[in-house]
Structure 1
Amino acid sequence: MIDLRHALAKLAALIDWEFFETEWASFFPSTAGRPATSPRLVAGLLYLQHAYRLSDEAVVARWVENSYYQHFTGEVFFQHRPPIDPSSLTRWRRRIGEEGAEWLLTKAIEVGGAPGLVEDRSLSRIAVDTTVMEKNIAHPTDARLYEKARRRLVALADEGGGGLR
C-alpha cells in the first residue's frame, strides 16, 4: 500500500527504534491495567509533529489519514482510529523532558550521518536561519502612548497660545 522509496518509509527503516523502546519504556511502566502507549509510536508522532509543524491534535488527525505516518510509527496494517488521545503527547513530553527530546533529535541526526545519505561537502558549512529570532523591538505600551499624546497636546496648546506646561 505504500512506496518504500518514500522519504518517511526510508527514514523509518534507518532510525534505531529499539533505543526508544528500551529507554522510554520506563517513563510509563505498566504492571496492571491497560498497556502503556508504545514508545516508538510516541517518538514517531513527536518527530512528525516537529518535522511538519503540527499541533498535538493535527498530528494525530493526520496519522489516521496518512499511511506513511502510520508506517513510520510502526503500524503494519492501516488503522482507521487514532492511536492515542492527543493529550497523551503532552504527558509524554512532560515525562521525557528535555533530555528525551534531545535523544529524539540525536537519533534523527545519526540517521543523516549514515553512509550515502548526506554528502560530506554538505556538512562543511552550516546555514542558520534567524528570521524567527525575536527582535529588540519596543512594542507600544499604554504609558508610552499616553506620553506621546500628552506631548502632542502640549505642542498643540503652545501653537494655540495656551501654554500648558
Structure 2
Amino acid sequence: MKAKNNKAGLLFQQPLKPLVNPDHSLVQLSEVVNWSRFEEKFGSLYSPDSGRPAKPIRLMVGLQYLKYTFNLSDEAIVAGWVENPYWQYFCGERYFQHEPPIESFLKNQ
C-alpha cells in the first residue's frame, strides 16, 4: 500500500485524532511508548536495497503488541486493524485506512 503524498489525496482522508477518545488506553499508551527506541534497535535490520520497501517499524511493533495483547492470529490482527481506528492510531497512522497494513501470511500461499 502506497502512502498518499499529494494534498488532493489527503483532502478526502479522515484524520484519526478527532475520531479517537484521548482517554482510551491505546491512545494513552501510544503517547508514552518510546517508539524511537524501537527504531534504533530494529532500524539496522532494514535494508533499503533489498526486497520490498519496508513497512514502518512502529506499525510492525504495534501490530505485534496488539496480536499478543488480544491473543489473536496474524490474519485476525490484519482484518481487525482495518475496522479499528484505535489500533490504527496506536500503530502510528494519522488518517483512517481502508486497506490492510500488510498482506496476510496465508494470502500468499
- Structure 1 residue 23 and structure 2 residue 41: aligned? yes
The partner residue of 2:60 within 37, 42, 49 is: 42
- Which consecutive unaligned segments of at least 5 residues does structure 1 have? 88-165
Greater RCO, 1 or 2 (C-alpha within 8 Å, sep 6+):
2
Q: Which amino acid aligns with 1:51?
A: T
Aligned counterparts of 2:80 and 2:29: Cα–Cα separation in 1: 18
Aligned counterparts of 1:63 and 1:45: Cα–Cα separation in 2: 8
How many residue pairs get aligned? The number is: 87
How many angstroms does 1:33 deviate by?
Answer: 6.3
Which structure: larger Rg? 1
Aligned counterparts of 1:44 and 1:33: Cα–Cα separation in 2: 22
Aligned counterparts of 1:36 and 1:45: Cα–Cα separation in 2: 15
Aligned counterparts of 2:103 and 2:40: Cα–Cα separation in 1: 23
Show structure 1 runs of 4+ deviating over 2 A: 31-35
Deviations 1:85-107 (A, max 9, x none): 133xxxxxxxxxxxxxxxxxxxx
How many angstroms does 1:80 deviate by?
Answer: 0.2
- Structure 1 residue 3 and structure 2 residue 21: aligned? yes
Aligned counterparts of 1:42 and 1:11: Cα–Cα separation in 2: 16
CA RMSD of the aligned region, Å? 1.3
How many angstroms does 1:28 deviate by?
Answer: 2.5
Q: Which amino acid aligns with 2:45?
A: F
Instruction: Name the SS for the 1:54 alignment partner.
Output: coil
Aligned counterparts of 1:25 and 1:6: Cα–Cα separation in 2: 29
Q: Among the aligned pairs, what percent are the same residue?
A: 45
- Which consecutive unaligned segments of at least 5 residues does structure 2 have? 1-18
Q: Which amino acid aligns with 2:64?
A: L
Q: Counterpart in 1 of 2:3?
A: none
Q: Counterpart in 1 of 2:98?
A: 80
Aligned counterparts of 1:19 and 1:11: Cα–Cα separation in 2: 15
TM (norm. structure 2) is 0.74
